[in-house]
């Protein structure tokens, strides 16, 4: 279909997901029930299934994407059998040759990265590799049943960067034996590896996982949603100081998490990232008001139209909190399309958001 030559306006990048749940994973991590997350059974997708899924995404939408990648994730890609790896890559190559797809990406465990395993990618347009780091604390990795060391992540990241791959690192918060200080330590060690981007996931209790048994026996207590949002906010701001983009916070809403029985407990919210950004905005506005000798009432906040929901917060919680904290009777939101998306004007004071 030659998506690049169809005359449609150019939109955002497109990532086409191909799920390979549990496949390639030599360990059953304590938190994991990949089927509950993806809604898929643990089997290699067939060539026909992959081609149908790619075509479905390519034919969707009025805008053609600026770039298009096919992504293998949900399992550990380089932990698969060599023949399976090559078969999956060969299956999507016709889309690359037709220039419908720019490149391939996948997620894998840090301990699957070696010179030998990376040589399997030679000749294929793989551009991005994500590592399921989860923690940089060996004690936490042991408690989670990960089966690898923090050093494996260091070695893997170095190999990938030397080969020129775009590097993404995934971390989790709320794992057994971990705490806020431990999460921040993991963030510091991740930042030293200079990834191109990061994902941050809360630990959830999923039906069928070993963590579910511990939760039911009162041997594991998941983080509360509010505490998790605040911790992930701290992590987001920390990575921001090193100009490392956080491309996702929280798991996506999916059939596996929303249907009855999939999710037992834990800090899940379908708009988790929105909650984090809303708290960042609330902090910024509160800080600006704290610096003012007298709080204006009504308070006027000028904001780009696309930022209104973040300023208001979920269910307008930010507005309520500001009114309570600063004894305000009225807050007026003024939409100003001339403002950059990450900028606010609070009672005349200009604020640049992280």
pLDDT in tens, 174-227: 999 999 999 999 999 999 999 999 999 999 998 888 999 999 999 999 999 999
Q: DSSP letter at 65?
A: P
248, part of any domain: no
Distances from the Cα of 63 to the Cα of 4, 13, 57, 70, 305, angstroms: 10, 10, 12, 18, 22
Between 17 and 256, the higher pLDDT residue: 17
Planar angle of CA 172, 208, 18, nearest 5 degrees: 65
User: Average pLDDT for residues 114-133, to the nearest whole number?
Assistant: 97
pLDDT tens for 41-55 read 457 889 999 999 999
Q: Residue 48 sits in which domain range?
A: 3-172+182-200
Token reading at 119: 């040589």
102, part of any domain: yes
If asked whether residues 191 and 307 sit together in one domain, one would say no
Residues 6+ apart with CB under 8 A from 12: 63, 65, 66
289, part of any domain: no
If asked whether residues 191 and 329 sit together in one domain, one would say no
287, part of any domain: no
If asked whether residues 46 and 187 sit together in one domain, one would say yes
231, part of any domain: no
If asked whether residues 335 and 191 sit together in one domain, one would say no
54, part of any domain: yes
Crossing angle (nearest 10°) for helices 317-326 and 272-290: 20
User: Average pLDDT for residues 241-253, to the nearest whole number?
Assistant: 93
If asked whether residues 26 and 136 sit together in one domain, one would say yes
**Cβ-contact 256, 37 below 8 angstroms:** yes
pTM of the model: 0.91
Instruction: Please report the pLDDT score of residue 161 as a whole number.
Output: 97
285, part of any domain: no
Instruction: Please report the pLDDT score of residue 254 as a whole number.
Output: 62
Q: DSSP letter at 3?
A: G
Find the CATH number of the domain harbouring 129. Answer: 3.20.20.70
If asked whether residues 303 and 193 sit together in one domain, one would say no
What is the rounded CA–CA span in Å between residue 350 and residue 354? 13
Percent of residues, the chain, with pLDDT higher than 70:
90
If asked whether residues 187 and 305 sit together in one domain, one would say no
345, part of any domain: yes
If asked whether residues 186 and 332 sit together in one domain, one would say no
Percent of residues, the chain, with pLDDT higher than 90:
79
Give the pLDDT band of residue 2 (cuts 50, 70, 90).
very low
Number of compact structural domains in the chain:
2
What is the rounded CA–CA span in Å between residue 41 and residue 31? 17
């Amino acid at each position: 279909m030659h998506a690049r030559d169809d005359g449609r306006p150019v939109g955002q990048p497109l990532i086409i997901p191909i799920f390979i749940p549990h496949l390639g994973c030599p360990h059953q991590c304590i938190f994991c029930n990949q089927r509950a997350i993806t809604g898929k059974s643990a089997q290699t997708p067939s060539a026909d299934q992959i081609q149908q899924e790619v075509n479905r995404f390519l034919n969707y939408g009025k805008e053609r994407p600026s770039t298009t990648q096919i992504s293998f994730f949900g399992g550990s890609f380089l932990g698969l059998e060599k023949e399976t790896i090559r078969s999956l890559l060969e299956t999507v190559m016709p889309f690359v040759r037709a220039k419908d797809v720019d490149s391939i990406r996948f997620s894998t465990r840090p301990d699957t990265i070696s010179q030998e395993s990376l040589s399997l990618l030679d000749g294929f347009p793989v551009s991005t590799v994500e590592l399921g780091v989860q923690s940089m604390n060996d004690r936490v990795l042991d408690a989670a049943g990960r089966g690898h060391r923090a050093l494996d992540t260091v070695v893997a990241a170095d190999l990938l960067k030397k080969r020129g791959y775009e590097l993404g690192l995934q971390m989790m918060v709320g794992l057994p034996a971990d705490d806020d200080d431990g999460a921040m330590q993991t963030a510091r060690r991740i930042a030293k590896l200079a990834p191109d981007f990061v994902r941050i996931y809360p630990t959830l209790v999923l039906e069928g996982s070993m963590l579910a048994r511990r939760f039911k026996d009162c041997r594991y207590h998941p983080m509360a949603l509010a505490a998790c949002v605040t911790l992930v906010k701290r992590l987001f701001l920390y990575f921001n100081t090193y100009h490392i983009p956080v491309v996702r916070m929280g798991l996506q809403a999916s059939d596996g998490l929303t249907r009855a029985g999939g999710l037992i407990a834990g800090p899940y919210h379908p708009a988790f990232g929105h909650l984090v950004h809303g708290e960042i905005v609330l902090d910024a506005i509160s800080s600006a008001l704290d610096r003012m000798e007298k709080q204006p009432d009504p308070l006027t906040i000028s904001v780009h139209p696309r930022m209104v929901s973040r300023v208001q917060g979920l269910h307008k919680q930010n507005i309520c909190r500001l009114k309570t904290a600063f004894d305000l009777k009225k807050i007026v939101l003024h939409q100003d399309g001339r403002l950059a998306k990450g900028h606010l004007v609070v009672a005349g004071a200009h604020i640049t958001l992280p």
